[in-house]
Amino acid sequence: MNANPTKTAASDAASRQVLTFVLGEETYGVDILRVQEIRGWSAVTKIPNSPPHVLGVLNLRGSIVPIVDLRKRFNLAQAEYTAVTVIIVLTVRSEAGRRDFGVVVDGVSDVVDVDAGAVKPTPDLGARAATDHISGLVSIAERMVVLLDIDRLIGSQLADSVGADAAAISEAARAA
Amino acid sequence: MGIDLAQFHEAFFEESFEALESMEAALLKLDVGAPDPEVINTVFRVAHSIKGGAGMFNFSDIASFTHTCETLLDGVRAGRTRLTTAVMDLLLKSVDVMREMLRAAQRKESFDPQKVADLQFDLEVAVANNDVAAAPAAAVQAASAAPATEAQLPEWQISVKPLENMLSRGNEPLALFAALAEHGELSVTASIDAVPPLAKIDPHRCYVHWVLRLKSAASEQQIAEAFEWVEGDCDYRITPAAAVSPAAKPGTPAPAPPPAAAAVAPEVPSPPPAPAEAAAARPAAKTDAAPAANSGDAGSIRVSVGKIDELINTVGEVVITQSMLAQLGALVEGPSAEQLRSGLAQLERNVRELHESVMRVRMLPIGFAFSRFPRLVRDVAQRLGKQIDLKLTGEQTELDKTVLERIGDPLVHLVRNSIDHGIEKPEERVAAGKPAAGTVHLEAFHRGSAIIIEVSDDGRGLDCDRILAKARSRGLVGPSETPSEEAIFELIFLPGFSTAEQTTDLSGRGVGMDVVRRNIKSLGGKIDIRSARGRGSRFSISLPLTLAIVDGQSVCVGCETYIVPLVSIVESLQIKAGGVNRLSNAGEVISFRGDYLPLLRLYELFGAEPRSRAIHEGLVVVVEGEGQRVGLFVDDLRGQQQVVIKSLEANYGHVPGISGATILGDGAVALILDVPGLIRSTARRVAA
């Protein structure tokens, strides 16, 4: 289980930049190179029968981008969407090619340099699914920052949800 | 020459490939028994222009090969070579070889010279075998020439001495002479002193030189113009002949030379056979080239697809902006509001026209995809020992270039399948009381905003029993299940499914039909099969005309806006309270023009919160797809507009019931309903 984060950490360059953001009490970080842009919250268009953490889609300069609520994804308490709520638009790469999507977070904190040696593997908490998307933990200014592996977090997640949709529509139809 | 010709190579290749395609098409049109001289002329012209281009760009192997090909064609044109099936095969093979040579040259690779040499040898043999009675025919023509009406014109003596590479660079002395003959009466004397003994002749070299006498009022400069193309390939000298008649009046324009003057004396033995015929045929070739140019490529330009796509994208954005303005305009009040609105209406019309024109730029006739089939069918049929008549209809039907490009391979597969599996051997067909030659019919036509392409044959049809047996043996269908005929046809789209007893290199490997369907689905189309045992089968492909735009009706459900493609809407109506009947547990139906239609409540399907669930407080949009109708219950209708289809799958994934998304005038995203998909889901529900 621990092989994943250690491998990821070791294969990275000695130092990289990470964008940190806040969700509730916790601080998370994503590789800055994956960040397309940061924008304010605006209303989204719902997608029928989407998984609960997919809020809907937004128009990002002509392309249609799904928006994921990370609080829902991480089973955190629900927060109000306010003026300071931001969307970070990220890029994932998978076999299916490049995909853009936005994540809703409480607020963006900082861009920090993270030394590869300082990244600690995620401890085995027993619940496999819960830590799969975490590439490691790092301590910055006395705070623990959870480094996210967004390819694992979203790349698989949206695809799964799509597979489940076929079942969802027939269920919805049957319920009618 | 000092100019870098390499920059024109790409254009030459492109043009040559196109030319080869038209040459192939023309060849296939030729009737072996009675070749149409017009068509032969077309073929000849194409070969000639490829030769010319290849010579100019120094692809000497291509030029030389094409020259041999041209010689054979010239023989056919002049009636010296009979157009037999063997000659046809040879010519078709030559087209292939030329294409391969061009492709190799384009990639800067070398091409197997043996292959070229072999075919070139065959071509030469064909020329030699049939080369009969050329000289006498030519002599007669020459004798009839030269009316002595222009005796008083000045006479020029022109000596022409080709350099070694003149022929291999695609220049033909004959063309030169014909050009000169346009100035007046021309007589040609060939000198064959320099021709070596036969064994030492290099067929690519020209050993003959000529002395010409031209009676013409043309100036030296005008005459020299004819040599423009051979500049550097041959030595020539233009001198006033000694016996110039002093009666020549300078300044008097020469009368137009009579057409018969174009004939050329036939003492030229070696390089181009049949000079008289060729010269005579040239004006004819010119005249029939003109109408062809008018119908097809009149004033066309080559534009890269990237530029067109950019243009289309921009126009797409203009469409969005326009609809945004239209929405804003509707809200404006004040003294000039009316003017503003009429201006906006004008803008809408213009934008619509602009958009249609731009989209048409990308539209090409499906004939481009069909053009490869005559050849393919001929080859495949020959290999399998079957007789096939190929019928093509609706070649002018236009569709988007992207769709066109990606439909080619699936069609090839279907046609091959039809020939391989569908059409029986001639003896089998005769025994079944059918004509020995089977018919494969490729047909394209528009239906609504879709293009339908059908591949049908009058062969044996799909064998349901065998498909079912095969499916059972693979465990795809349980032993007790008895699927409907339709469901059985569906089975052949499964990966790796093939009932062919013997797999050939053509089809039967079972890698085909699933790929065919995947390709068609990726284009937003679908494929249906109809088949009758012993009578044939029909594969019907339905594709969207364009992948970029749709006329849509906005409807709202709860606080969301959805777009219903206008083509699928039959009618929108309000149903009175109590107008809905429940069919036990299977769902609701409404009465519509004497029929009962299933009712789909979109809010239920999409999990939205509607304004009202009461049937009389909303509207029902009756939509049609796949031959079925359903009623969609929505809150309200909004405006109609053209929307640019954006992919939802690029960043998210496929959503059942949704075909894509678009951006509304206010920048918000609206989802586009997939009406056929919705109808299929209803059908499943009713069946369940």
* Structure tokens, A25: 């009490």
Contacts of B556 in chain A (CB under 8 A): none
What are the tens digits of pLDDT across the range B582-595?
887 778 888 888 88
- Determine the pLDDT at residue A175: 44
Give the per-residue pLDDT at B508.
Answer: 42
CATH superfamily of B549-687: CheA-289, Domain 4 (2.40.50.180)
Residue A51 touches partner B, C-beta closer than 8 Å:
no
Q: Where are the domains of chain A?
A: 3-175
Tokens of B207: 């050993």
Distance CA A23, CA A68 (A): 13
Q: What does the pLDDT average to over B304-333?
A: 81
Chain B closest-CA separation from residue A14 CA (Å): 31
Average pLDDT over residues B33-42: 77
Q: pLDDT-based confidence at B108, cuts 50/70/90?
A: confident
pLDDT of the residue at A73: 79
- In tens, the pLDDT along B282-311 reads 443 333 333 433 444 457 788 887 788 778
Q: What is the ipTM of this complex?
A: 0.76
- Residue with the bigger pLDDT between B57 and B529: it is B529
pLDDT of B242 strictly over 60: no
Residue B466 to residue B498: CA distance in whole angstroms: 10
Q: What pLDDT does B205 receive?
A: 75
Give the tens place of pLDDT for each residue, B447-478: 766 789 999 999 888 888 888 888 888 777 77
Class of domain A3-175: mainly beta
Q: Does A63 touch chain B (CB under 8 A)?
A: yes
Interface of B with A (CB under 8 A): 317, 560-561, 587-588, 601, 604-608, 646-648, 650-658, 661, 663, 667-671, 681-682, 684-685, 688
- Rounded mean pLDDT, B165-170: 71
* List of chain A residues whose C-beta atoms are within 8 Å of the C-beta of residue B607: 48-49, 172
The predicted model scores a pTM of: 0.47
The reply to whether domains B136-294 and B549-687 share a CATH topology is: no
Q: Which residues of B touch A56 (CB under 8 A)?
A: 669
Which one is predicted more confidently, B136 or A83? A83
Closest partner residue to A48 (CB to CB) among B317, B658, B670 is B658
Q: Which of B604, B648, B671 sits opposite A172 (nearest CB)?
A: B604
Confidence (pLDDT) at A66? 92
Q: Which of B601, B669, B672 to mutate to test the interface with A (most CBs of A within 10 A)?
A: B669
In chain B, where the domains are located: 5-132, 136-294, 305-362, 371-544, 549-687
Assigned CATH for B5-132 = 1.20.120.160
CB contact under 8 A, B648 and A158: no
Q: Give the amino acid at B581.
A: N
Tokens representing residue B242 in the block = 């000694």
Out of B661, B671, B685, closest to residue A173 by CB = B685
The label of the residue with tokens 């140019």 reads B293
- What CATH number has the domain spanning B371-544? 3.30.565.10
Cβ neighbours for B41, distance < 8 A, ≥ 6 positions apart: B77, B281, B284, B285, B288
User: How far apart are alpha carbons B176 and B169 in whole angstroms?
Assistant: 14
- pLDDT band, very low/low/confident/very high, at B553 (cuts 50, 70, 90): very high
Q: Return the closest-CA partner of residue B640 out of B665, B659, B668.
A: B665
Are the CB atoms for A28 and A146 separated by under 8 Å? yes
CA atoms within 13 A on the CB side of B485: 9
SS (HEC) of B119-175: HHHHHHHHHHHHCCCHHHHHHHHHHHCCCHHHCCCCEEEEEEEECCCCCCCCCCHHH
pLDDT of res. B399: 84
| pLDDT by position in tens, chain A (length 176) | 444 444 444 444 568 899 999 888 889 999 999 998 898 888 889 888 888 888 899 888 777 899 988 888 777 777 777 777 889 999 887 766 778 889 998 888 889 888 888 888 877 766 555 677 788 888 888 888 989 888 877 755 554 444 444 444 444 444 44
User: What pLDDT was estimated at residue B539?
Assistant: 92
Each residue's pLDDT tens digit, B182-240: 777 778 877 777 777 777 777 777 777 777 777 777 777 777 777 776 777 777 777 77
> Please, are residues B188 and B268 in contact by the beta-carbon 8 Å criterion?
yes
**Chain B contact for A61 (CB, 8 A cutoff):** no
Min Cα–Cα distance to chain A from B494, Å? 19
CB contact under 8 A, A172 and B653: no
Per the prediction, chain B carries an average pLDDT of: 76
B136-294: what fold?
Alpha-Beta Plaits (3.30.70)
What is the average per-residue pLDDT within B385-413? 87
* Contact status, residue B442 vs residue B373, Cβ threshold 8 Å: yes
Average pLDDT over residues B97-123: 81
